[in-house]
Amino acid sequence: MKKLLCALTAWLVGSTLIFAQGMTTSSSYKGTGSVTRKKATTTVSNLFEKGIRIAALGTITSTDNKVWSVPASVAFSNSSFPFAPDLYNEYVNGHTYKTNDEAERALSESDLVVVDEDGAVFTAYVFADNYFEMYINGMPVGKDAVPFTAFNSSIIRFKVKKPFTIAVQCVDWEENLGLGTERMGNELQHIGDGGFVAVIKNSSGAIEEVTDASWKAQTFYTAPVANLSCLKEENGIRYSDQCTGTTGTSESYGVHWEIPSQWQSTSFDDSTWPSASLYKNETLGVDNKTSYTNFTNVFDDKEHDASFIWSTNLLLDNVVLLRKKVE
């Protein structure tokens, strides 16, 4: 009996330790985000039925009892937020322009978003992996017409006085909601990547602004994370670049931060946000995407080459907010 009691005690202690270790990774997280684990509940089955991949939305509750929208809270179904006209969009009712000049000629007066009646006219050329929503001085001027895939590119024309502030919500979509992963061949938990590139021209066709390290880029959703100890925060920067791996699991962690109100406005203080990290075309793999290569004369202008920008982690950081003041 004594041996049986000792064995039972050892089993209970061992079980307690195993359980404690399972909880330790979450409870020992010391960052400012909220932690979630496992898959989210689907609330919208598919935003874009024509897409190659399913662009669903969901919600998930974190350990501090906050409810989060995944992959993000987006305005895709909000009719008051205009869709950006096409540079290249292969879907029905889309346009597959061969040059930026062709896309510009197709713009109508109704495509011009007026921020300031007495402003100057600017044109933005955008390629986003996967989805973006752009604001000028807090006003919505254009959102991505394709939330997930196939890859597309956009053109946005707006009228505003300088200086003006560009604010962009970027979303790297996920098929496994709350887990930050997508299907890739036979791999069901592949970690996808993000990326955003933009060029702003004035009415004379001269380049006024390109995406580079002068832009601000802050992370608001990171997943999948196998061990929360790999996450670091320092001087306003949310580092996930020490988290390694190309696949997740059905029990991976996600970390979420609340998006501040009025983050799109000119008065918002982004001084603590980190500078954007830069990525090369080959890293994003855009050299075989017609939605990009048709317009390399704009995106890769010899004198004003725009860089792909994101946070410090192109793979794990799934919701990134960008800001830039154009003087």
Q: What is the Cβ-side half-sphere exposure of residue 52, based on CA atoms within 13 angstroms?
A: 13
Q: What is the mean pLDDT of residues 109-119?
A: 98
Determine the pLDDT at residue 158.
98
Q: What is the mean pLDDT of residues 16-30?
A: 48
Cβ neighbours for 318, distance < 8 A, ≥ 6 positions apart = 71, 72, 171, 172, 174, 180, 194, 221, 222, 223
Give whole-number Cα distances, 10 to 19, 21, 22, 87, in Å. Answer: 14, 16, 18, 66
pLDDT tens-digit readout, 85-107: 999 999 999 999 999 999 999 99
d(CA 146, CA 153): 9
Determine the pLDDT at residue 245.
81
Sign of CA dihedral 245, 246, 251, 257: positive
Local confidence band at 17 (pLDDT 50, 70, 90 cut-offs): very low
Determine the pLDDT at residue 244.
82
Q: What is the mean pLDDT of residues 57-62?
A: 98
Determine the pLDDT at residue 28.
74
pLDDT tens-digit readout, 285-321: 999 999 999 999 999 999 999 999 999 999 999 999 9
d(CA 173, CA 181): 8
Determine the pLDDT at residue 246.
85
What predicted TM-score, i.e. pTM, was given to this entire model? 0.91
Q: What is the mean pLDDT of the chain?
A: 92
CB-based burial of residue 119 (10 Å sphere; 0-12 exposed, 13-18 middle, 19+ buried)? Answer: middle
Among 5-9, 201-205, 258-262, which stretch is predicted with the lowest mean pLDDT?
5-9
pLDDT tens-digit readout, 194-215: 999 999 999 999 999 999 999 9
Q: What H or E segment, with its residue span, contains residue 9?
A: helix 2-27
Determine the pLDDT at residue 6.
41
